[in-house]
């Protein structure tokens, strides 16, 4: 079984991807310093797959501490690099922490992947690299505009660093996956999103309001030029995102000749949903009335962004199969479990 190193394997998207990798026949080790997660997620992965995943609780920014991980696992054939700090708002207030963590971590990993002859690399990028895009839906060729925050800049810079390395390194291939708005949880409700940070993304804010952790929530802005005045986003189920990684890995491993160019894919459903529609879906699917009000626009929000995902469909054979209803159903099931254990 090919061995894959997943960085950030205890985090939200990393843990769901590990499940899909295992179920597809990969062997997985995780590297996660738990700055935004907890190793208890590995119990959930065990319950779903029957496999115990080993996590190396090491900081990617600490190069010396990484070496034993690679020494002990000389048979790693690919790296999926999720580990990063990801809060837009926090990055504005702590830019150096974001640059240091996200960029140094990436550089160390790329450096060690050369030293240990690891030829396949997948990077978690984000639709935030497009900035306030002029065209909709965005394709992989849509020009990247100015990053709106330090977090988004770490993704633009990360992509560029990987592209530059891929261009000159023999026998090395990389894929850059630009996620739109990942949400939802594994259908078993044994794993889901459980960030240490206070939630600010729409779906966890909705479920936290429904369970009573928040008294009410605010829809940020009701006077945008959209069909109901609220912002439009492309919510993509985390298990569909997970599957895209497995397919991307297969694509890299099946290549007979390395291409010296990073391949970029948008990971979204292709469908824009308004905030109001997302809330309506939650209420309808789960039979719960949500306590919300309309408030001011949130600074930095773009009016609308959604993906053209044809490239991933055509090249990776990736067909996202879960809709906003399944996102809201699974997110709610997970919230109910989470609130009993945390
Ligand atoms: P997450 O915070 O749940 O997972 C990231 C994991 O990386 C955490 O478990 C954290 O402890 C770990 N980590 C962070 N810095 C580390 C370091 N220096 N060394 C070792 N481990 C470290 O986040 P997520 O939602 O699973 O996101 C995964 C990736 O996807 C990130 O790169 C993120 O930027 C990207 N992304 C996320 C979203 C989203 O909305 N969730 C959207 C687009 C892109
Ligand atoms: C979605 C919509 C809010 C909370 C961010 C990052 C992006 C990517 C995904 C990492 C917006 C509205 C939200 C609330 C609301 N992450 N909203 N009330 O801002 O599209 O994207 O996460 O790469 O890079 O920027 O996601 O979930 O925060 O917001 O009305 O309490 O929900 O205004 O329109 P966003 P989000």
> Per-residue pLDDT tens for 150-189?
999 999 999 999 999 999 999 999 999 999 999 999 999 9
Best residue among 11, 19, 112 to mutate for probing ligand 1's pocket (most ligand atoms within 8 Å of CB) is 11
Q: What is the separation, in whole angstroms, between the first and last Cα of the chain?
A: 35
CA distance 101 to 103: 6
Residues recognised as catalytic: 151
Q: How far apart are CA 25 and CA 242, in angstroms?
A: 14
125 phi and psi, to 5 degrees?
Answer: -105, -165
* Other beta carbons within 10 Å of 171: 12
Q: Are strands 3-7 and 76-81 parallel, antiparallel or unpaired?
A: parallel
Q: Which of 83, 192, 202 most suits a substitution to test ligand 1, by most atoms within 8 Å of the C-beta? A: 83
- For residue range 255-285, list pLDDT tens digits in order: 988 788 899 999 999 999 999 999 999 999 9
User: How far apart (Å, rounded) are the C-alpha atoms in residues 234 and 226?
Assistant: 14
CB of 86 shorter than 6 A to ligand 1? yes
Does the beta carbon of 219 lie inside 6 Å of ligand 2?
A: yes
Residue 79 belongs to what H/E stretch?
A: strand 76-81
Find out whether the beta carbon of 10 lies less than 6 Å from any atom of ligand 1.
yes
Of 111, 125, 120, 121, whose CA–CA distance to 156 is shortest?
125
Instruction: Return d(Cα 190, Cα 334) in angstroms, integer.
Output: 7
Residue 196, pLDDT above cutoff 90: no
Nearest ligand to residue 32 Cα? 1
312-338 burial, b at 16+ Cβ within 10 Å, e below that, comes to: beeebebebebbbebbbbbbbbbbebb
Q: How far is the CA of 236 from the centre of ligand 2 (A)?
A: 13
**Average pLDDT estimate for 43-52:** 98
For the cut 80, the answer to whether the pLDDT of residue 232 exceeds it is yes
How far is the centre of ligand 1, averaged over its atoms, from the C-alpha of 275 (Å)? 24
Of the ligands numbered here, which is closest to the C-alpha atom of 131?
A: 2
- What value does the CA radius of gyration of the chain take, rounded to a whole number of Å? 19
Q: Verify whether ligand 2 is closer than 6 Å to residue 231 (CB atom).
A: yes
> What share of the chain has pLDDT > 90, as a percent?
94
Q: Is the pLDDT of residue 142 over 90?
A: yes
Bond into 137 cis (ω within 30)? yes
Strand partners, 219: 294
Nearest to 261, CA basis, from 172, 166, 160: 166
Given a contact cutoff of 8 angstroms between Cβ atoms, the answer to whether 245 and 20 are in contact is yes
342 C-alpha vs ligand 1 centroid, how far in Å?
Answer: 20
| Strand, coil or helix: 270 | coil
Residue 195 has pLDDT above 90, yes or no: no
Cα(220) to centroid(ligand 1), Å = 25
């Amino acid at each position: 079984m090919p061995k894959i190193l997943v960085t950030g394997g205890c985090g939200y998207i990393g843990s769901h991807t590990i499940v899909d990798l295992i179920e597809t026949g990969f062997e997985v080790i995780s590297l996660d310093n738990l700055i935004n997660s907890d190793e208890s997620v590995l119990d959930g992965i065990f319950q779903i797959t029957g496999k115990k995943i080993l996590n190396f609780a090491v900081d990617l920014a600490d190069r010396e501490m990484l070496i034993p991980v690679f020494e002990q696992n000389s048979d790693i054939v690919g790296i999926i690099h999720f580990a990063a700090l990801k809060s837009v708002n926090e990055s504005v207030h702590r830019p150096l922490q974001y640059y240091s963590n996200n960029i140094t971590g990436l550089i160390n990993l790329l450096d060690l992947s050369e030293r240990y002859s690891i030829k396949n690399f997948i990077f978690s990028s984000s639709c935030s690299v497009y900035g306030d895009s002029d065209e909709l839906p965005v394709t992989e060729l849509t020009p990247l505009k100015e990053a709106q925050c330090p977090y988004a800049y770490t993704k633009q810079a990360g992509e560029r660093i990987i592209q530059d390395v891929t261009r000159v390194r023999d026998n090395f291939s990389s894929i850059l996956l630009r996620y739109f708005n990942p949400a939802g949880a594994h259908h078993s409700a044994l794993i889901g999103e459980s960030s240490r940070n206070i939630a600010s993304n729409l779906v966890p804010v909705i479920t936290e309001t429904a369970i009573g952790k928040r008294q009410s929530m605010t829809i940020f802005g009701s006077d945008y030029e959209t069909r109901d005045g609220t912002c439009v986003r492309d919510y993509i189920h985390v298990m569909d995102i997970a599957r895209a990684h497995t397919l991307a890995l297969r694509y890299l491993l099946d290549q007979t000749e390395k291409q010296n160019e990073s391949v970029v894919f948008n990971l979204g459903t292709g469908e824009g949903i308004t905030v109001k529609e997302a809330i309506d879906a939650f209420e309808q699917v789960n039979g719960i009335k949500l306590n919300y009000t309309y408030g001011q626009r949130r600074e930095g929000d773009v009016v609308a962004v959604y993906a053209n995902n044809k490239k991933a469909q055509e090249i990776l054979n990736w067909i996202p199969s879960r809709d906003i209803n399944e996102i809201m159903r699974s997110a709610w099931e997970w919230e109910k479990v989470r609130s009993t254990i945390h």
